[in-house]
Amino acid sequence: MAENGRQVSLLPLVGPEGPAYGRAMSTVSVTHHPLFVDGRHVDTAERYDLRDPATGEVVGTLAKGTVADVDTAVEAARRSFAAGVWAGRTPAERSAVLSRIAGRLAAEVDDLARLEGSVNGATIRQATAFHAGFAAPHLQHFADLAASYAFERVIDTPPVPTLSTNRIIREPIGVCAAIVPWNFPLVLGIWKIGPALAAGNSVVVKVDERAPLTLLRLAEIAHEEGVPDGVLSVVAGPGPEVGARLASHPDVGKVGFTGSTVVGREIMRLGSGTVKHVTLELGGKGPAIVLDDADLDMAVEGILFGCMLFSGQMCESGTRLLVPAAGRDEIVGRLVERVRALRLGDPRDPATDVGPVISVAQRDRALHLIGRAVDAGATVAVGGGIPELPGFEGGSWIEPTIVTGVTNDMELAQVEVFGPVLAVLTYESEDEAVGIANDSDFGLAAGVWSRDLRRAGEIGRRLRAGTVWVNTWHGVDNNAPFGGYGQSGVGREIGPDALDAYTETKHLHVDLSRSAGEQIFALLQPGPGA
């Protein structure tokens, strides 16, 4: 992701004489991490191993929660909400606490980057810029919203009404659940925790057992900065048990989920039993359309940034490249040359461009999808295998890969790979390019590369995607909503209206037909939560 269109270079900080493979550096020591429930650390009988995807080594352990731990966390959240220890504070007071937490996240950005990268394989360059770097400004965005949001407003038409007055009141839902993936746990967790707390809710977070560390640290910081016991808890455990209990719990009123479309459908089903509010940010298969007038120097860099950043393990990655048939050979040739210059190696080395994928199973799935495409008639232009990396033999590595001759009916063009794999498709006309781009179950993100911004904008309006970038990729701005069309999800996160999804709307109608003038005046004054 890139804030306000700014990109962090994916390409080498050292010379382009690649491929360059670094050697393993020392890994972190093994530490045990308990859950954080109701203001305290909670250990469990069973544990998960936390592994470094670069080496496969165990670098820590995590308490393995159960349904009973979820019930304890939800009960603490319900109790704290009913007592008003957080919901009863003014928006300004909640904003001040969230601002202090954001300040702590900014101060600890280097430690948070190392924590996150140690278990999800993000390179230190990327983790510092995005995984940890986005945390403080995005949480500050929600702190600012807490102070400015219209929790109460009068909708009467001036002058002062004589028969009635009407107020629209936005109230917290109560107990909210956040189910967060391993790829961007801190930032995507904040996208749910931030608006929930800003609105006055209590929150139970289920972390992915592969990458829990930064959200556990966030919970500790929040407690230290004044978030009361029970208002923010973090649990872990098997999705079909712990996640399912959280999504179906009768005391949970809202579920925010980021993850696969398959699991998102199950979250929606589980939440339907008690008609919960649900926000889902799911999969993607982003089309990047290169027009015939594109600046290829810019486009090639941006295409690789869009697809290869974090080894392609981002839901909005640009993994389908649509190029004019007449320009395919030149574009692919340039891309192959740049891919060969990418440096694979230790994620903790600032010179590393591309790290591992999250697991051996994920690597093997990506390789399987590449093989299926080749069987269907496609060609691997570069990559497509497992690199030889001395010192990293136990890691989950895959070469950055470009596959040509792909058609949109192939599995590689329709299925989210979640690996550093770019599928190249060709088109003959703009209409055909738009048709191919929109021929997908997903609609999270898309992009257009062109010197003609008017032309690119017109095509962007025709693309069925929640975010469309022109001459950039991963441009996530916390002031703009993020989410997808179709099976890429339901609802939007961040943006100016983020608190809407974490509040209930109440219409308060008061009959004034027999009220005295003083009573009318009193009723028209803002309430204590305004």
pLDDT higher than 80, residue 6: no
Same domain, 213 and 336: no
Mean pLDDT to the nearest integer, 268-280: 97
Mean pLDDT to the nearest integer, 288-295: 98
Identify the pLDDT of residue 163.
Answer: 80
Mean pLDDT to the nearest integer, 148-163: 80
| Local confidence band at 56 (pLDDT 50, 70, 90 cut-offs) | very high
* Domain-embedded: residue 6: no
| Local confidence band at 141 (pLDDT 50, 70, 90 cut-offs) | very high
> Is residue 212 reached through a cis peptide bond, with omega within 30 degrees of 0 on the bond before it?
no
pLDDT higher than 80, residue 529: no
Looking at every residue in the chain, the average pLDDT score rounds to: 92
For this structure, is 192 an active site residue?
A: yes
**What would the pLDDT profile of 105-129 be if each residue is shown by its tens digit?**
999 999 999 999 999 999 999 999 9
Q: Which tokens go with 83?
A: 């007592």
Mean pLDDT to the nearest integer, 44-57: 97
pLDDT higher than 90, residue 20: no
DSSP state of 200: T
Q: Helix 91-107 crosses helix 185-199 at what angle (to 10 degrees)?
A: 160
Identify the pLDDT of residue 525.
Answer: 67
Identify the pLDDT of residue 10.
Answer: 38
Provide CB contacts within 8 A for 498, sequence distance 6+. 141, 142, 145, 191, 194, 195, 481, 492
**What would the pLDDT profile of 453-468 be if each residue is shown by its tens digit?**
999 999 999 999 999 9
Mean pLDDT to the nearest integer, 344-368: 97
Identify the pLDDT of residue 520.
Answer: 57
* Domain-embedded: residue 104: yes
pLDDT higher than 60, residue 358: yes
pLDDT higher than 50, residue 209: yes
Same domain, 31 and 79: yes
pLDDT higher than 90, residue 522: no
In the set 108, 209, 399, 493, the catalytic residue is 493
Same domain, 273 and 384: no
* Domain-embedded: residue 110: yes
Identify the pLDDT of residue 512.
Answer: 80
Mean pLDDT to the nearest integer, 70-80: 98
DSSP 394-412: TS-----EEEES--TTSHH
Same domain, 126 and 108: yes
Instruction: Give the number of other Cβ atoms within 10 Å of residue 64's Cβ.
Output: 18
In the set 108, 281, 301, 416, the catalytic residue is 281
Which structural domain range is residue 126 located in? 26-282+488-503
Identify the pLDDT of residue 30.
Answer: 82
Q: Is 232 left (phi over 0), alpha (psi -120 to 50) or beta?
A: beta
Identify the pLDDT of residue 511.
Answer: 85
Identify the pLDDT of residue 26.
Answer: 41
Give the whole-angstrom CA distance, residue 178 versus residue 250. Answer: 15
**What would the pLDDT profile of 223-254 be if each residue is shown by its tens digit?**
999 999 999 999 999 999 999 999 999 999 99
* Domain-embedded: residue 7: no
In the set 192, 206, 254, 285, the catalytic residue is 192
Same domain, 327 and 264: no
Same domain, 183 and 201: yes
% the chain with pLDDT above 90: 88
Identify the pLDDT of residue 23.
Answer: 38
In the set 315, 316, 399, 416, the catalytic residue is 315
Mean pLDDT to the nearest integer, 422-439: 98
Whichever domain contains 71, its CATH number is 3.40.605.10
DSSP state of 352: -
User: Would you say 355 and 121 are in contact if contact means Cβ atoms under 8 Å apart?
Assistant: yes
C-alpha of 264 from chain center: 14
Same domain, 97 and 47: yes
For this structure, is 176 an active site residue?
A: no
pLDDT higher than 80, residue 91: yes
Same domain, 262 and 360: no
Q: How far apart are the first and last CA of the chain?
A: 34
Same domain, 113 and 140: yes
Report the DSSP pairing between strands 503-511 and 164-172.
antiparallel
**What would the pLDDT profile of 164-202 be if each residue is shown by its tens digit?**
889 999 999 999 999 999 999 999 999 999 999 999 999
| Local confidence band at 158 (pLDDT 50, 70, 90 cut-offs) | low
Same domain, 264 and 317: no
Per the structure, the count of domains in the chain is 2
User: Would you say 43 and 63 are in contact if contact means Cβ atoms under 8 Å apart?
Assistant: yes
* Domain-embedded: residue 519: no
Same domain, 138 and 250: yes
Angstrom distances, CA of residue 95 to CA of 146, 226, 311, 398: 5, 11, 36, 44
Give the whole-angstrom CA distance, residue 83 versus residue 176. Answer: 16
pLDDT higher than 90, residue 28: no
Mean pLDDT to the nearest integer, 18-23: 37
Provide CB contacts within 8 A for 454, sequence distance 6+. none
Identify the pLDDT of residue 9.
Answer: 37
What is the 3-state secondary structure of 112-164?
A: HHHHHHHHHCCCHHHHHHHHCCCHHHHHHHHHHHHHHCCCEEECCCCCCCCCE
Same domain, 228 and 327: no
| Local confidence band at 48 (pLDDT 50, 70, 90 cut-offs) | very high
